[in-house]
């Protein structure tokens, strides 16, 4: 049994829901993200938010998987602050949906000033509505700098409890600084640009299993919706106990997400 | 940093994963050869220099190699950039950004 706490099912087939269910997935959370192209209007986001809050929960339910979501405009579309603020203004009307857990995946992409401005706007929205936050950290060479800027922005906001914020896509050079500052950390099992299952298990061995989870971040790119059960296999092959495997792939996401008061398993 | 012991012995880890990593070294060697054999003027590409620096780091005998490789490949500047020129990342710090960005 496992939870995949970060996967973009709007980009996956119904067959993937079936395979995930067969592999033991009982619940997922789906952050709003970039579609691979910039939307041309805020109305495009309104439709996307309907898909996340209405269509996907029904599709997941066919396979006994509980679907939850996080809403935002992704940092890749934050370079136009006027447009981004129009999208952010749509979010409050969706917060009444029971499957919305909070704001995410917000963060930075290229660490630009406009991205920081829109990150701060999202953090203010989360604080105003007492919402949890799921954070995307930048890719590759931009990750270390972006992670530092994001943590500073959260601290500067002043009203967000780090224990209700998960900073995702950590790797060996960022996991320590994220955990040290009291945040939860997510390891994304993604080919070429993030963690392999082997490296994720290394990180558990070096940093422990407190406030850490694993996810697939499966999306429209080359990615693997079964990455979490594959990491479970890696842990098992390396002699980790079933209790440890359950902790990182079920108990930890359950603990973090339950703080929302809305997270449920099927 | 060590929090939990590695549960498998050195020998068991090597038995389990040597061939996988032998293949990865060969892939890297063949990739460098392929780039050298190719036409064009980009033999001094910053990404290839970054790969060479990573290879040297692997041989320095010090621990935490994965963390240090990632740090070596990271933008170490602190301030936000003025504007995002693109959405993508290259995987190494471009010369324009190396210390100047």
Closest alpha carbon to A165 in A108, A126, A200: A126
Q: Are A52 and A30 in contact (CB under 8 A)?
A: yes
The domains found in chain A, sorted by start residue, are 2-258 (3.20.20.140)
The first and second tokens of residue A43, run together, are: 């109305």
Q: Which residues of chain A have pLDDT under 70?
A: 266
CB within 8 Å: B75 and A141: yes
Identify the CA nearest to A26 among candidates A13, A35, A17. A17
Per the CB < 8 Å rule, is B90 touching A205? no
The structure tokens listed for A12 are 């996956």
Please state, as a whole number, how many other Cβ atoms lie within 10 Å of the Cβ of residue A144.
Answer: 21
B80 contacts in chain A (CB < 8 Å): 111-113, 115-116, 149
Q: Which of B76, B82, B89 sits opposite A139 (nearest CB)?
A: B89
| Model-wide pTM > 0.90 | yes
Write out pLDDT tens, residues A209-234: 999 999 999 999 999 999 999 999 99
Give me the residues paired with residue A30 across strands: A69
- Among A112, A145, A199, the residue with its CB nearest the CB of B74 is A145
C-alpha A130/C-alpha A92 separation (Å) is 12
**Do the beta carbons of residue A102 and residue A131 sit within 8 Å?**
yes
Cβ–Cβ < 8 Å for A204, A248 = yes
B84 contacts chain A (CB < 8 A): yes
**Distance set, CA A126 to CA A6, A65, A86, A120 (Å):** 19, 26, 16, 10
ipTM: 0.96
Confidence of residue B101 (pLDDT cuts 50, 70, 90): very low
For testing contact with chain A, the best of B14, B49, B80 (most A CBs within 10 A): B80
- Which tens digit of pLDDT belongs to each residue from A83-98? 999 999 999 999 999 9
pLDDT at position A105: 98
């Amino acid at each position: 049994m496992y939870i995949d706490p970060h996967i973009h099912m709007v980009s996956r087939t119904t067959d993937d829901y079936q395979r995930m269910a067969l592999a033991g997935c009982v619940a997922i959370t789906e952050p709003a993200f970039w579609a691979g192209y910039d939307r041309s209007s805020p109305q495009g986001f309104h439709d996307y938010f309907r898909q996340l809050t209405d269509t996907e929960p029904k599709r997941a339910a066919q396979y006994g998987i509980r679907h939850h979501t996080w809403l935002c405009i992704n940092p890749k579309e934050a370079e136009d602050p006027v447009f981004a603020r129009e999208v952010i203004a749509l979010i409050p009307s969706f917060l009444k949906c029971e499957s919305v857990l909070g704001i995410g995946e917000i963060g930075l992409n290229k660490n630009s000033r406009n991205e920081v401005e829109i990150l701060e706007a999202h953090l203010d929205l989360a604080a105003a509505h007492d919402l949890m936050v799921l954070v995307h950290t930048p890719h590759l060479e931009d990750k270390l700098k972006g992670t530092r800027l994001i943590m500073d922005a959260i601290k500067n906001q002043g009203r967000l409890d780090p224990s209700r914020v998960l900073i995702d896509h950590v790797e060996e050079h960022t996991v320590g600084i994220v955990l040290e500052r009291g945040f939860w950390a997510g390891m994304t099992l993604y080919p070429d640009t993030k963690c392999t299952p082997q490296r994720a298990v290394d990180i558990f061995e070096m940093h422990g299993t407190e406030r850490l989870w694993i996810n697939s971040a499966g999306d429209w790119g080359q990615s693997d919706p079964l990455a979490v059960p594959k990491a479970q296999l890696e842990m098992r092959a390396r002699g980790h106990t079933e209790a440890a495997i359950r902790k990182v792939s079920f108990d930890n996401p359950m603990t973090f997400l339950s703080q929302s008061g809305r997270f449920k398993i099927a | 940093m060590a929090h939990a012991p590695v549960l498998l012995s050195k020998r068991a880890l090597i038995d389990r994963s040597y061939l996988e990593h032998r293949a990865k070294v060969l892939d890297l060697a063949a990739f460098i050869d392929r780039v050298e054999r190719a036409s064009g003027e980009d033999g001094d590409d910053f990404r290839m220099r970054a790969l060479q620096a990573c290879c040297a780091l692997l041989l320095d005998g010090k621990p935490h190699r994965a963390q240090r490789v990632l740090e070596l490949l990271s933008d170490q500047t602190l301030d936000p950039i003025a504007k995002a020129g693109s959405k993508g990342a290259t995987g190494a710090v471009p010369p324009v950004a190396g210390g100047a960005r």
